[in-house]
Structure 1
Amino acid sequence: MPLPGLWSRGVEFGDDALTFVDYVHPAASVCAEPVLSVGGIRDVDPAGFPPEIRTTAGETLFVSKLREGDLRQFAERHRIPQIARPDIWMRLLEPFLDTTIGHGRQADTDGWLRERGFSEAEIARARARVGPMMTAYNELLWEWEDLNLSDLVLASASSPDAGLYWWAMGIADRAAVE
């Protein structure tokens, strides 16, 4: 789980746009074009940890938990939907937690993913692709409860593989609101 202030390195809430400064992942769209207009925002989850902004392009951007109120007010002012969605990556990353996951829990998790259209082969491929990176990341973090998309973004921030970032965003964007 990222530190509450980690994402605060750079979001400014303007009248009709957000400006990101020094975003944590170099492959993020806001690194090339730091201004995200209201029209480019599909929905937000201010209550997320960390709070999420989902773009019309299917990207999930994060802001500091310290800016939750600002994001909520911005969304209300512009009538941007505030939606909490299921976290697919939390389930995909479960095997990399610093705890023993029982067979029953793993079967429940994988069943949840299959109900959302993931085949067993796709689940295995996703875990294999991020496994070494997430294992190394969590050796430092020692998270035993929740690894999610924000952790994957942080873990891959130094990777030169921009394809990994956008692949992860595509998987996250498959989450249907329950």
Structure 2
Amino acid sequence: MEVSFAEDSIRFLGYDFLGSTVHPAGVVTVPQLRDADWIALPLEVVTTSGETLFVPSRQRVALQRFCRHNDVPHRQRPDVWGDLLEPFLDTSFTVEHEIDTETRLREAGLRRDEVADIRGRLTPLMNAYNFDSMLWEWCYLGLFDLLRAANGHLVPPDLPPTLGDPTAFYAWTMSLAERHPGVA
């Protein structure tokens, strides 16, 4: 993935995620940007349509400069995907931690059965991504990791097609990424 910044636009080259508006290459203009997070890993820009696009971490300064120059607000937001994918980390959590995670998901408008369905749908994919591949991530898995897995990174080639149409899957991941505690 490569990103270049112009005066009033961001050009994405080699954007790997099927279903994205910038796949495999595309441009996002300032009026299309809602906010950005140059502290997140990886860096994020969010469009007015609610699509989260990723920027390589090595471009932190360039993204920050671009956003300040164009009055694109900095916004750190809770990561619902970090909470949804927590069971696929190579670690264990205290009961208190699990309760906190469930509370954040509930505050984001996700019912317990909905969370179970989402995790069930993603179990083969995320187990292959983190465990079978021997990635063994134990700190954090989020939307970027899910999209990498869904696009065939570190997983057997027969797994991504089980998720259904890539464009519909991508839209589903983005709609859930827009869910935040207190905003159902």
Indicate conservation of the 8 Å contact 2:32/2:48, yes or no: yes
Q: Take 1:177 and 1:80, find their aligned partners in 2: how far apart are those partners?
A: 23
Q: Tell whether 2:149 aligns with 1:149.
A: no
Aligned equivalents of 2:92, 2:25: Cα separation in 1? 42
Task: Describe the shift of the 1:177–1:33 C-alpha distance in structure 2 as closer, same or farther (beyond 3 A).
Answer: farther
Correspondence 1:104 to 2:92: no
Give the percent of matched residue pairs that are identical in Structure 1 and Structure 2. 39
How many residues are treated as equivalent by the alignment?
Answer: 170
With normalisation by structure 1, the TM-score equals 0.89
Deviation at 1:137, TM superposition (A): 0.4
Deviation at 1:105, TM superposition (A): 2.2
Which protein, 1 or 2, shows the higher relative CO under an 8 Å CA cutoff with sep ≥ 6? 1
Q: 1:80: how far off? A: 0.4
Conservation of the 8 A alpha-carbon contact between 1:12 and 1:20:
yes
- Give me the CA root mean square deviation: 1.7
Question: SS at the partner of 2:23?
Answer: helix
Q: 1:95, 1:101 within 8 Å by CA — same for their partners in 2?
A: no
- Out of 42-51 and 115-124, give the one that drifted further: 115-124
Aligned ranges for residues 61-100 of structure 1 at < 5 Å?
A: 61-100=53-92
Unpaired segments ≥5 residues, structure 1: 1-8
Query: Are the equivalent residues in 2 in contact too, given 1:85–1:176 (CA < 8 A)?
Result: no
Between the aligned partners of 1:114 and 1:177, the Cα distance in structure 2 is: 9
Provide TM-score, normalisation by structure 2: 0.86
Structure 2: gaps of 5 or more residues = 153-159
Partner of 1:26: 18
Separation in structure 1 between the aligned mates of residue 136 and residue 84 of structure 2, nearest angstrom: 17
- Return the offset for 1:17: 0.7
The answer to whether the aligner puts 1:175 opposite 2:180 as a matched pair is yes
Task: Measure, in 2, the Cα distance between the counterparts of 1:132 and 1:32.
Answer: 26
Separation (CA, whole Å) in 2 of partners of 1:42 and 1:11: 18
Q: Which residue of 2 aligns with 1:3?
A: none
| CA–CA distance in structure 2, aligned partners of residues 126 and 91 of structure 1 | 11
Q: Which amino acid aligns with 2:147?
A: V
